[in-house]
């Protein structure tokens, strides 16, 4: 998993509340277990019409937001089913940070496991950041996880709170597997002792 330290990027305004995971990535695209290739289907029903053509009024179909790495939305983002494909689709599109007043719990947890930073900020702050984002590609936002601030184009710094352990995992680029591998020497030592002290126990796959 890629580290998240400081991100300066285009932010896309999505002034919608209760955006559920089926809206983020429709169920018909959940057949894959790969984390790649889902970005093209992100917000599929919002981005495309029935013929598959782009809807020109949807923000991610417009310049410069096709290259957005930050998404700003309203309350209860990521509600609905617990599909991990939702953060996969966001990440595959290029989104590394979602800012909203609040998030559905499971989606919030899945973001951290996939290297996406979900930031909770009050509604009025999200509205101000959306106004910044509508200024276009020259009005980029900076998200500094080390200092826990969002920096507006005018230089104003907005502090956000985050669980210290989750902050550490993002800064170090550690998902669940990465956390486990940090303890590889201890795990190897334990297995070696077990083989020595309990040699009578058959190895996995043994007879």
138-159: average pLDDT: 96
Sign of CA dihedral 4, 6, 10, 15: positive
CATH no. for residue 160? Answer: 3.20.19.10
Beta bridge partners of 70: 11, 97
Q: Is residue 61 part of a domain?
A: yes
161-183: average pLDDT: 81
Q: Which of 6-20, 117-131, 172-186 has the lowest mean pLDDT?
A: 172-186
pLDDT for the residue numbered 136: 87
Q: pTM of the entire structure?
A: 0.86
Report the percent of the chain where pLDDT is more than 90.
77
Q: Is the pLDDT assigned to residue 190 strictly greater than 60?
A: yes
Q: Is residue 1 part of a domain?
A: no
Query: How far, CA to CA in Å, does 178 sit from each of 181, 188, 198?
Result: 5, 16, 29
**What's the CA gap between 13 and 71, in Å, rounded?**
6
Q: Is the pLDDT assigned to residue 36 strictly greater than 60?
A: yes
pLDDT for the residue numbered 127: 98
pLDDT for the residue numbered 207: 43
58-82: average pLDDT: 97
Q: Is residue 85 part of a domain?
A: yes
Q: Is residue 124 part of a domain?
A: yes
Q: Is residue 187 part of a domain?
A: no
**What's the CA gap between 29 and 86, in Å, rounded?**
10
Residue 62 domain boundaries: 6-174
Let me know: does 83 contact 20? Beta carbons within 8 Å.
no
Q: Is residue 62 part of a domain?
A: yes
Q: Is residue 205 part of a domain?
A: no
Q: In this structure, what DSSP letter does residue 142 have?
A: E
Q: Is the pLDDT assigned to residue 199 strictly greater than 80?
A: no
Query: How far, CA to CA in Å, does 36 sit from each of 29, 109, 139?
Result: 12, 19, 29
Count of the separate structural domains present in the chain = 1
Q: Is residue 200 part of a domain?
A: no
């Amino acid at each position: 998993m890629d580290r998240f330290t400081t991100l300066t990027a285009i932010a896309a305004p999505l002034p919608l509340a209760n955006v559920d995971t089926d809206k983020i990535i429709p169920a018909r695209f959940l057949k894959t277990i790969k984390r790649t290739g889902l970005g093209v289907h992100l917000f599929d029903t919002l981005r495309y019409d029935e013929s598959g053509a782009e809807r020109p009024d949807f923000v991610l179909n417009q310049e410069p937001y096709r290259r957005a790495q930050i998404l700003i939305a309203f309350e209860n983002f990521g509600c609905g089913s617990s599909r991990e494909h939702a953060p996969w689709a966001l990440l595959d599109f290029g989104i590394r940070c979602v800012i909203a007043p609040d998030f559905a719990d499971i989606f919030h947890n899945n973001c951290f496991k996939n290297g996406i930073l979900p930031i909770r900020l009050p509604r009025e702050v999200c509205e101000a950041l959306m106004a910044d984002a509508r200024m276009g590609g020259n009005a980029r936002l900076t998200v500094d996880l080390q200092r826990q601030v969002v920096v507006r184009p005018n230089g104003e710094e907005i502090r956000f709170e985050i669980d210290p352990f989750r902050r550490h995992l993002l800064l170090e680029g550690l998902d669940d597997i990465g956390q486990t591998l940090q303890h590889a020497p201890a795990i190897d030592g334990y297995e070696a002792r077990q083989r020595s002290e309990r040699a009578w126990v058959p190895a996995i796959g043994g007879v």
